[in-house]
């Protein structure tokens, strides 16, 4: 994630630490991920899972 995409600072998404949480646990949304970036994350996730 890049600062110009809405992140507080340039960041790295670590694919080996991806987990889900319930919507109730979210206090504040910090940024959103573009459809293009979501597709890239999905592609990399599938590739790493085998």
Number of domains forming the structure of the chain: 1
**pTM for this entry:** 0.55
Q: What pLDDT score does 17 carry? A: 76
Residues with Cβ within 8 Å of 6's Cβ and at least 6 positions away in sequence, in order, are 30, 31, 32
Phi and psi of 15, rounded to 5°?
A: -70, -20
Q: For residue range 3-46, what is the model confidence (pLDDT) as tens digits?
A: 888 788 898 877 777 788 898 988 888 778 889 988 988 898 88
| Residue range(s) defining the domain that contains residue 42 | 3-49
Q: How far apart are CA 24 and CA 7, in angstroms?
A: 22
State the pLDDT at residue 34: 87
Whether pLDDT at 50 is above 90 = no
Q: What is the pLDDT of residue 39?
A: 93
pLDDT at 26: 87
């Amino acid at each position: 994630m890049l600062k110009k995409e809405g992140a507080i600072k340039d960041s790295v998404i670590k694919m080996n630490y991806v987990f889900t949480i319930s919507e109730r646990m979210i206090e504040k949304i910090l940024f959103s991920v573009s459809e293009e970036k979501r597709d890239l994350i999905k592609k990399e996730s599938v590739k790493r899972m085998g």
